[in-house]
Amino acid sequence: MSAPQAIEAAAEARRDASITFLRELIALQPKGEAEVQAHVADALRGLGCVVDSLRYAPTEVPMRHEFAAAAAMDKEERASIIARLPGSGGGRSLIFFAHPDGEPITGLERWKHDPFAGEIEAGRLYGWGVSDDLSGVAIMVEALQALKEAGLRPAGDVLVTSTPSKRHARGVAAALHHGYGADAAVYVHPAESGQGMQEVKAICSGQLYFSITVAGREPETTEPGHTSFAHLAVSALDKAILIKAALAALDAERGKRVHHARIAEVVGRSTNILISTMRCGTEGRYGRMPIECVMGGAVSFPPDEAMEAVQAEIAAAIAAAAAVDPWLAAHPPKLEWLSGVTGAEVPAAHPLFAAVSASVHDVTGKAPFVNAMHTASDIRVPMTQKGIPTVGFGPLGGDLSQNGRHDEWVDVDDYIRAIKVAAGTIMGWCGAAAE
């Protein structure tokens, strides 16, 4: 029996056990992240892994090619579970990572299924955090279980890491900066594009979040209403619209100038500037002059463009627009960068992509395609932090709580397929040996 056939048989034999393990992780959600991590660690020890618990403060993890405002960072101490399965020797090493932390538990009254029971209906398994990213955590563990029961042992070392990610928890970055690493990495997370195991994440654009504060001036009057005096004031909204127009012009110019073939092929552009919010004035007080306007937005940019260069272009466009307006020249808009990450990419010809693609083909009978639209995906972290080539994959899932939806789910058959693909990727990349 070939290695792919042995993995197929073992994963199918473990189907019920694999579903049970995922349900156990879902049931632990109300008890907190520490309980989930402890259960994962116990399962990995049972597989013969050497397991460490790395405690760290997210704010103390060095940042490379990324940043976040202090207010956006999780300040509580966290723990990453890092398990090493020693290889038989002579093969390449591989690190898997997924995140055990989910969204704060709220809005349960909207759920039609028990959020913590792992109910299955019409081929979907429902549960809080199941698609973001408990199934990813379970897939990593179950892949090692499948290999063990198939009588296979990788030649190279395999690291399985359950690393917090939400709210800039930076778990995988913490592990890398504490000396853990491998020849390649795989991020396991359900695909949110609706393609499931037919998709491989091999490209992610960079992304910057920013805010711009524009000041205005009230008319000199003690009257509560400003309408009759509006010509004596400066509307922050009017001035903000000038800045927004300047950014729209820059967006159009960048759309023509900045090009990344694999991204443009999908959506026709390689970069975008989005103004997503604008807050000014006081709701219900329609006769008052807005004296402050705050715009919030984001810019995406391809992996071959430097984050600092993009920031400089945004700042220059704002400054140029302000320079030609007397009020804005005297009262410059305040640009604040809230967070930013650099993009990253693994070429289609890379051996890691070849190993993952071969495993996907073995399991599904079809070659996967590269989804180039995963802006700011965590596949970037090992690449930008330590130069470790990284791709991602995961089963079909949807209705994520982080998107304001309810009854989050993962496709059961695709979950099992993902386990097979993960196990096959280990053997394809690390090298195979019989136990």
What is the rounded CA–CA span in Å between residue 93 and residue 86?
A: 9
Which residue is listed with tokens 């690449």?
383
Q: With contact defined as beta carbons under 8 Å apart, do 362 and 417 qualify?
A: no
**How far from the centroid of its chain's Cα atoms is residue 276's Cα?**
20
What is the rounded CA–CA span in Å between residue 286 and residue 272?
A: 33
Domains of the chain: 3-204+343-434 (3.40.630.10), 206-341 (3.30.70.360)
| Residue 433 pLDDT | 64
Which residue is listed with tokens 């995963």?
374
**pLDDT tens sequence across 93-107:** 999 999 999 899 999
Query: In 258-350, where does DSSP find H-type helix?
Result: 261-267, 307-323, 326-330
**pLDDT tens sequence across 335-391:** 999 999 999 999 989 999 999 999 999 999 999 999 888 888 899 999 999 999 999
**pLDDT tens sequence across 53-103:** 999 999 889 888 888 877 667 778 999 999 999 999 999 999 999 999 989
CB atoms within 10 A of CB 213: 16
Task: List CB contacts of 269: < 8 A, sequence separation 6 or more.
Answer: 255, 263
Using pLDDT thresholds of 50, 70 and 90, give the confidence band for residue 434: low
Considering the entire predicted model, what is its pTM? 0.89
Q: With contact defined as beta carbons under 8 Å apart, do 123 and 412 qualify?
A: yes
**pLDDT tens sequence across 5-46:** 999 999 999 999 999 999 999 999 999 999 999 999 999 999
| Residue 372 pLDDT | 86
Q: Per this entry, what is the length of the chain? A: 435
Task: List CB contacts of 23: < 8 A, sequence separation 6 or more.
Answer: 117, 118, 125, 127
Q: Which of 202, 103, 99, 204 is nearest to 160 (CA)?
A: 99
| Residue 284 pLDDT | 87
- Count Cα neighbours of 405 within 13 Å in the Cβ-side half-sphere: 14
Q: Which residue has the higher pLDDT, 193 or 48?
A: 48
Cis peptide before 399 (omega within 30 of 0): no
**pLDDT tens sequence across 190-199:** 977 788 999 9
**Percent of the chain residues past pLDDT 70, beyond the cut:** 99
* DSSP three-state, residue 95: strand
In the beta sheet, which residues pair with residue 152?
Answer: 434
**pLDDT tens sequence across 269-308:** 999 999 999 999 988 889 999 999 999 999 999 999 999 9
Using pLDDT thresholds of 50, 70 and 90, give the confidence band for residue 435: low
Give the H or E element holding residue 50.
strand 50-56
Please provide the distance, in angstroms rounded to a whole number, between the alpha carbons at the two ends of the chain: 14
